[in-house]
Structure 1
Amino acid sequence: MMLSQAVRTYISRFDVLPGRRVVIATNNDDAYATAEAVAAAGGEVVAILDARDAAPATRFPVFTSAVPLSTRGRRHHLASVEARIGTDRRRFDADLLAMSGGFTPVVHLHSQAGGALDWRGDIQAFVPGVSRQAVTSVGAAAGEVAPIATIAAALPDPKHSFIDFQNDVTAADIDLAWREGYRSVEHLKRYTTLGMATDQGKTSNMAALARLAGAAGVDIPQAGLTTFRPPFTPLTLGALAGADGGGHAAPRRRLALYDRHQRLDPIWQPLGYWHRPRAYPLAGESLHQAATREARAVRTAAGIADVSTLAKFAVSGPDAAALLEVVCATGVKLAVGRGRYTIMLREDGMVMDDGTFWRLDENRYLLTSSTGGADRMEAHLSYAHRVLAPHLRVSVVAQQEHLAGIALAGPLARDILATLAGIDPPAHMGIAEATIADVPVLILAASYSGERAFEIYAAGSEAAPVWDALEAETRARGGCPYGLEALEFLRIEKGHIVIGAEADGRTTPHDLGLGRMLRKSGGFIGTAGLTRAALSAGGRMQLVGLEAHDEAIPEGSMLIAATSAPVQGHVTSAAGRVLGDGAIALGLLTDGQARKGDVLLASSPTRNQHVRVTVTDPVFYDGEGTRYRD
């Protein structure tokens, strides 16, 4: 049993038909749009039960003066719906009951501004009345909705007649509250928990007031109304305070290696919950000059960066690999001591995050993902385990703050690591355990810069000596620490995506050129979403590279064929070449993968910058991948 508009949402947004044989109960015209959507998706509309005496013309079987009375089910599935049609009763075989009880105007802002409310019997709802402040409600919020039928039906089983679908409050619960002496609607709410779920009574309050008024023998307006308190949609106190609300609202979270960075006087940049070094300027250097120097050090010698804020999860247990198969869209079969780059999708097939996973032991893995998405990924893993695969014997533990991470990258990175750890460093995507500065470390051979690189993890409380040793050896070989800005230059040149820019919530793996990585057997979150025809149709925004020879490409600019022409895409990330001349960028362009060689205009009217760019492959550096392999 679902709300009628929820059925339409599942069909139109997720391409999911919630039931094959559908009965729709309504007292208004909106439900007829749901009938059309069900039929278009291949479902059968068994009956439309319209409580009104007359119904609009339609191709579906309609019964007027009809209301549902009861349902029957088997094995957790709906089997049939019994309805009263006039004075008769009839049962319909169905596996879905969609309900549309009309619309309640959103009077919250009007009420919170001190405005009075008036009752409209034709729509069975309160509407804005006299306003005390400069507030005017218009449209549906003012009650401009179609009238509904107000036919009532005796409930054969009040104990199983649900009024609040979220907190499972039944008609019998309201009747009991009345018998127990709860006359005030506010007391009724607290006694039954009616309207206290996440929808705050949006789908249940009017039906509950009608039941209470019936018990009291009064009209609904006389039964009273609960107070409309902000916010309209539940949200956290942190969201109300905002990121710029001061130290108490958004405390500055310091890295485990904060003291090591601070002595180098970096430019700090907030990223997620953390403040991270953006660059380490020398005397007189600008941000761009410092980042360019640091990036060139990585390309020619070596550099170290703090990557402690990457989301990290210990996934362990006999079914650890099975859970990763649900969450990760790539193959997960690995030998012990190996790792792999992966992507995680939302259920609609869009890329949600990316990262790596590493098989540390037979039943023990380490999963990493982006810094800003740590909380989202933790919730995603929890959902996958608790809801989609509760039978799996697996444990997931967040380790973002337990492990400090240091990236060592550059053509001399392997030699530096061999000197300090006294081991033969692992090959690309390999794992090793070692000791640096008498501190046990886990070494993962992974590259985000396009150079030979390693991520070195140690307990946060013990990581400072490891940083000191790596920094000293790196500087001795002509390298230096590098910050987020240099990391951005390096990853753009290598064509690596970042969550939020290229993977902006509207792109699929195919849009980003990652389609070949997908596990052919499916079974991961997003598999069904990727089958939607619209995601393989033409006209989608796809990842491309962009080059300009004489001017910097403005980040965020529109991609157009000529001045005043329609927008065809936008620049997601931009930089200059690290070792060469000219500007490069990544962008999302309509049908971009088939448009290499096209010349477009990267236009930013707000900055008065308009630069000619050529569409290229998104990988500008070492396309064969030889630099990061031994």
Structure 2
Amino acid sequence: MRRLNKLGRIDRSQPIAFTFDGKTMTGFRGDSLASAMLANDVTIVGRSFKYHRPRGIYSAGPEEPNALVTIGTGGRREPNLPATTVELADGLVAESQNRWPSLKFDVQSINSWFSPFLAAGFYYKTFMGPTRRSWMFYEHFIRKAAGLGRAGQEPDPDRYEVRHLFADVAVVGAGPAGLAAALAAAEAGAKVVLVEQDFLAGGYLLSEPSAGQAGAWLAGMLARLADMPNVSLMTRTIAFGAYDGNVLGLLERHNSSSVDPRQGEARQTLGLLRAKSIVYCTGSIERPLTFANNDRPGIMLASAARTYLNRYGVLAGKRVLVAADNDSAYSAAIDLAAAGAQVTIADSRAQPGPQLLEQARRGGIAVRATSMIAKAIGGHNVRAVVLIEPRGKTTLECDLIGVSGGWSPTVHLTSHLGIKPVYREDIRAFVPGKLGAGQFVAGAVTGSFTTEAAVDDGHRAGNEAFAFCDAARSSQAQVKFDLPKINAKLGVIGDDGNSGLRPKPPLSPAFSTQTNEGVGGKMNLAKGKAFVDLQMDVTVSDIALAHQEGYQSVEHLKRYTTLGMGTDQGKTSNFYALSAMAGLRGMAIPDVGTTTFRPPFTPVAVGALAGLSHGHHYKPFRRTPMHDWHVSNDAEMLETGLWMRPWFYHASSRDVNEAYVAEMRNVREAAGLMDISTLGKIAVQGPDAAEFLDRVYVNGFAKLPVGRARYGVMLRDDGIVFDDGTTTRVGDQHFFMTTSTARAADVMSRLEFLLDTAWPDLRVSVSSVSDEWAAMSVAGPKSRDILAAAFPDLDVSNDALPHMGLLEGRYRDRPLRIIRLSFSGERAYEIYAGASVGKEAWCRLIDAGTPFGLKPYGIEALGALRVEKGHVAGPEIDGRTTLDDLGLRRMAGKSSGFVGEVLGRRQAFSDPERPRLVGLRCVEDGRRLRGGAILFRPNEPVQGHGLGRITSTTYSPTLDAWVGLGLLATSAAQEGAEFIAHYPLKGEAVRARVVSPTFLDPKGDWFHG
């Protein structure tokens, strides 16, 4: 066990049980999953992406490249989470990834033996043949061998939400700079939202000894901010993206131990924070060092070793080597030594500062100057290290290597809007470029690496952010920041009257000679893989190979080697890759440039992005006035477009294939009732309404008598059929148009467009009245009897209400319209009643029709009925067919003047090979036709697009056969000809004969009876 009995900010009175790879372990409240695993002596946490090498915990924050785990079980499985950012919760279940059969013995670790063949871009060069489609075969095995975690297959039972937040000043990062910025802005009167990705605020102060003055200062600052009503501190919240208009994308992870999904509590919340100004206090990330076997478990960032010690009370190693090229690593070494570790510092610089050397000597630390790591020795854990020094090579035993190659400011968020970072030679790092209006930076992200500078910088930025929000009040609110005065108020006074906070030592201007040498083979320190990107297994030699093969642009380098393309987005590897390529090209680092930083800064779960927009909440959907009746009468509802419609009724059968046939048979033999409220309904009114419809439809409407309806077809400008429907003349200047359900909105928009642009002189108004009417259709040989029984005051005889006739009346003091027309092929009536009484009218028809055998039917039966009758619908009017294709040219009785008339007569539309509508009947007993099947001549090769396709099919109980509508090349569409209907998805081939598309009642006697 590596847990110490003291130190840390954990609560040892609250033990927490969790499992990792099925083994039960114990941590404490305040642990991260990584610190708890480290405390339980878990050294191997995963296997690398490509080579499956053992990997251990490397960092203590979101930059973690190695310790990716899957959390949860079943539908709650969430893969690829850095264990360093997962807050330990009671009952947490975690498992390692990318290994089989176990972490300690992974069969695919044999990949390391074939590493010469797996260099950068190997898949481009290797998996190219022998055929053009070979990659489709290889891909399955490549993805299985090299990958990350596996998401759950079950539905996620948890809830996700979306919040919209507003602030005067948004501060990203609750380290010392962020706390100071929030305090300054809040004291000036601004509404402040302070965003912190960790579950504790404090930033790198959490890595300081908790009992020291840093801890007291932090506690005082947090208490002061907590007392301010205009400050909101959002911990466990990552700002993953910066967007136009000073908008931040936030992901808030709720503590899993306190979330109760049974109470509807959210697991994660996506937040959109709109701020007048933003202060970025995002800190910096420690850089690694590159040497042979620098990926072995037991190697981590020096700052991480210090964090695990001072924040979590975990001593990561007893014999520690700290390898560094800057001052900051000495703090980690001194704290580790004070905790009982035997520590040696290998400093690549020739002359470390005398003050550092004295502090190291007092701590019992051996400092080896001009010393660099050549190689780490060990397999599942580091055992020793080989150093190169002026006097030669030296081997030292150790069980922990802490590395520090300097610090890179975290510029990602400041670059999301396209602002390129700027290189500073004095710190050998990129800092944010010139930000947009209302955006400010403070702290380590600016290259200021001391605590006092961070606090002072944060106070300045907070005042500037408030000044941008409220220039009138800002001059009165700002006061010169006095650190001793602030600290005195908080009760934190150092021995010298200052804060007493331990400064974060500045970086040495001298960049690591270790990372400059050994690039591109200039200096081979030792044999073994030297990794640049630990997560994606990109080595120094991969960068050299990319340079050699011409991939020298940093964007090309990234894609060719996959460097920085993992879940960590190259947070610890980007700078080394840039400096390496700069060295190979003989250029300065800023001349090489940087890759493009894009959101998200850290991965965001799809569930959080979706929020509540899933299932029926994914997009708006509409209910008809009779919806509740359908549900209560056991209808299987189906989402069609934006509407919920009855698919079939379980009273007919529990299986749709049996139910729709039973419902069809009932319509043909007795009567059926269908909810058609989803049809688009448009009122066209005005003195020129008839002329307008004459131009919109291919057939004439100007001479349509009042009280009569007519079927019409609209074309697009290019002559392609746009939509069809019926329009009824209610008055001299008033028409009632119906459209298909799918095209209702498009037709309405089209009519408005034509009136606004093509014919603004026409005196016509169009209004959508879809929501004003509930609509239902009674179809079948007994439909007239049912209508007469339901509405005894109305004359529905053949003389009073002929086919395509209109009858108006009143029902419950609401308008009532009955139009006699049919989509099913039977005698049928469409009844339009006010939406508020639609359900009542429906029930009245059910009650009146029950003695006549009336039953409701769904859209599956409706589609089958219209196929039997040969009526075209969406599958045929698919945006590619013309009037001739659908056999509707006879409707265009006018010589000219309608939309699409000119382009509809293009020569290409008369091509004899152009498909036209035909009927098809299956001629094989026990077989069926399928929509989408491709039609081929018998004895011809089944390849390509064939001569046509089947668009709609159904089993016809009347004909006792499978029939369908299709589009077949005109030259081949002779009735009686046989074709092979090939359905490639199921590998089916069925013989079908061409017949008339009107399978039943070709003369329309049922309509008029």
Hey, what does 2:634 align to over in structure 1?
Answer: 265
Shift of 1:406: 0.4
Distance change (3 Å), C-alpha of 1:436 and 1:301: farther
Distance 1:134 1:304 in 2: 63
Q: Which residue of 2 aligns with 1:424?
A: 795
1:159-238 alignment, distance < 5 Å: none
Cα RMSD for the two superposed structures = 2.8
Check the 8 A contact 1:439/1:466 in 2, yes or no: no
The counterpart of 1:307, out of the listed 676, 681, 692, is 676
- Correspondence for 1:73: none
CA distance in 1 between partners of 2:755 and 2:886 (Å): 28
Structure 2 counterpart of 1:441? 816
Give distance in 2, aligned partners of 1:573 and 1:420: 35
Inter-CA distance 327–283: structure 2 relative to 1 (3 Å threshold): closer
State how far apart, in whole Å, the 2-side matches of 1:229 and 1:417 are. 64
Q: Aligned residue for 2:509? A: none
Change (3 A) 1:436 1:291: farther
For residue 960 of structure 2, what is the aligned residue in structure 1? 581
- Taking the aligned partners of 2:709 and 2:863, their CA distance within structure 1 comes to 23
Matching of residue 492 in structure 1 with residue 867 in structure 2: yes
What aligned pairs does 1:14-29 form with structure 2 within 5 A after superposition?
none
Residues 297, 480 of structure 1: 8 Å contact kept: yes
CA distance in structure 2 between the aligned counterparts of 1:113 and 1:538, rounded to whole angstroms: 55
SS of the aligned residue for 2:1008 comes to coil
Structure 1, unaligned runs of 5 or more: 1-110, 117-127, 137-226, 231-239
Name the residue aligned to 1:292: 661
Where do 1:334-373 residues align within 5 Å? 334-373=704-743
What is aligned with 1:528? 902
State the secondary structure of the residue aligned to 2:1007: coil
Q: Distance in 2 between matches of 1:242 and 1:545?
A: 46
Distance of aligned partners of 1:129 and 1:515 in 2 relative to their CA distance in 1, 3 Å threshold: farther
Greater Cα offset, 246-255 or 577-586? 246-255
In the TM superposition, residue 522 of structure 1 has moved relative to its aligned partner by 1.8
Where does residue 322 of structure 1 map in the other structure?
691
CA–CA separation in structure 2 for the residues paired with 1:459 and 1:310: 14
1:453 aligns with 2:828: yes
Note the C-alpha offset of 1:259. Answer: 1.2
SS in 1 for 2:637: strand
Q: Which moved more, 1:553-562 or 1:315-324?
A: 553-562
Partner of 1:505: 879
1:524 deviation in Å? 1.0
SS for the counterpart of 1:627 is helix
Does residue 410 (structure 1) correspond to residue 767 (structure 2)? The answer is: no
**SS across alignment from 1:393:** coil
Distance 1:338 1:228, change over 3 A: farther
Q: For the residues of structure 1 that align with 2:416 and 2:735, how far apart are their CA atoms?
A: 51
Aligned: 1:476 with 2:851: yes
**Counterpart of 1:519 in structure 2: which amino acid?**
G
Amino acid at match of 1:598: A
Instruction: Output the CA distance in 2 between the equivalents of 1:399 and 1:361.
Output: 16
Partner of 1:602: 981
| Alignment CA distance shift 1:318-1:229 (3 Å) | farther
Corresponding residue for residue 560 of structure 1: 936
Deviation of 1:115 after TM superposition, in Å, equals: 12
- Are the equivalent residues in 2 in contact too, given 1:278–1:484 (CA < 8 A)? yes
Give the deviation of 1:286 after TM superposition: 0.9
Deviation at 1:624, TM superposition (A): 0.5
Paired AA for residue 397 in structure 1: S
| Letter of the 1:131 counterpart | E
Distance apart, 1:114 and its partner CA? 7.7
Residue of structure 1 aligned with 2:555, choices 131, 135, 140 = 131
Distance change in 2, residues 1:228/1:347 (3 Å) = farther
Decide whether aligned partners of structure 1 residues 135 and 279 sit closer, same or farther in structure 2, where only a CA change above 3 A counts.
same
Asked if the contact 1:420/1:436 (under 8 Å) is kept, the reply is no
What whole-Å deviation, never above 9, does each CA across 1:453-501 have from its counterpart, x for those lacking one? 01100111111111001112222211200000110110000000012x1
Q: Distance in 2 between matches of 1:358 and 1:243?
A: 42
Q: Which amino acid aligns with 2:795?
A: D
Q: Which AA in structure 2 matches 1:473?
A: A
Q: How far apart in 2 are the matches of 1:486 and 1:479?
A: 15
Secondary structure, counterpart of 1:387 in structure 2: helix
Q: Give the letter aligned to residue 967 of structure 2.
A: L
Structure with bigger gyration radius:
2
Decide whether the 8 Å contact of 1:242 with 1:250 is kept in 2. no
1:463 match: secondary structure: helix
What letter is aligned with 1:452? R
Contact 1:543 1:593 (8 Å CA) reproduced: no
Identify the residue that residue 541 of structure 1 maps to in structure 2.
Answer: 915
1:591 aligns with 2:970: yes
Quick one: distance in 2 between partners of 1:505 and 1:228?
Answer: 41
- Aligned equivalents of 1:433 and 1:617: distance in 2? 37
Residue 129 (structure 1) shift: 6.3
Structure 2: distance between partners of 1:494 and 1:228: 59
1:112 Cα deviation after fit: 8.6
In the TM superposition, what is the alpha-carbon distance from 1:241 to its structure 2 partner? Answer: 7.5
Match of 2:1003 among 613, 617, 624: 624
CA contact (8 A) 1:437 1:466 kept: no
The answer to whether the 8 A contact 2:652-2:659 is kept is no
Cα distance in 1 for partners of 2:910, 2:611 equals: 38
Partner of 1:275: 644
Between the two proteins, the alignment pairs up a number of residues equal to 410
- How much has 1:318 moved relative to structure 2? 0.4
Distance 1:242 1:542 in 2: 46
Equivalent residues of 2:652, 2:663 under 8 A apart: no
Could you report, residue by residue, the CA deviation over 1:147-206 in whole angstroms, capped at 9, with x for unpaired residues?
xxxxxxxxxxxxxxxxxxxxxxxxxxxxxxxxxxxxxxxxxxxxxxxxxxxxxxxxxxxx
TM-score (structure 1 length as normaliser): 0.61
Give how far 1:289 is off: 1.2
Report the Cα distance in structure 2 between the residues aligned to 1:295 and 1:402, rounded to whole angstroms: 29
Deviations 1:498-541 (CA, angstroms, capped at 9, x unpaired): 12x11111110111000000132321110111121111122111
| Equivalent pair of 1:436/1:469 in contact (CA under 8 Å) | no
Give the Cα–Cα distance (whole angstroms) in 1 for the partners of residues 986 and 840 of structure 2: 46
SS in 1 for 2:771: coil
2:44 maps to what in 1? none
Amino acid across the alignment from 2:942: S
- Which SS does the other structure have where 1:552 is aligned? coil
CA separation of 1:557 and 1:228: change in aligned 2, threshold 3 A: farther
| Conservation of the 8 A alpha-carbon contact between 2:885 and 2:916 | yes
Q: Which amino acid aligns with 2:846?
A: E
Q: Which structure 2 residue ranges, 5 or more long, are not aligned? A: 1-414, 421-551, 561-595, 600-608
Aligned equivalents of 2:640, 2:617: Cα separation in 1: 18
Instruction: Choose the corresponding residue for 2:992, options 595, 605, 613.
Output: 613
Report deviation, 1:419: 2.1
The letter of the residue matching 2:681 is K
How far 1:242 moved relative to its partner? 13
Q: TM-score, normalization: structure 2?
A: 0.39
Identity of aligned residues (%): 40
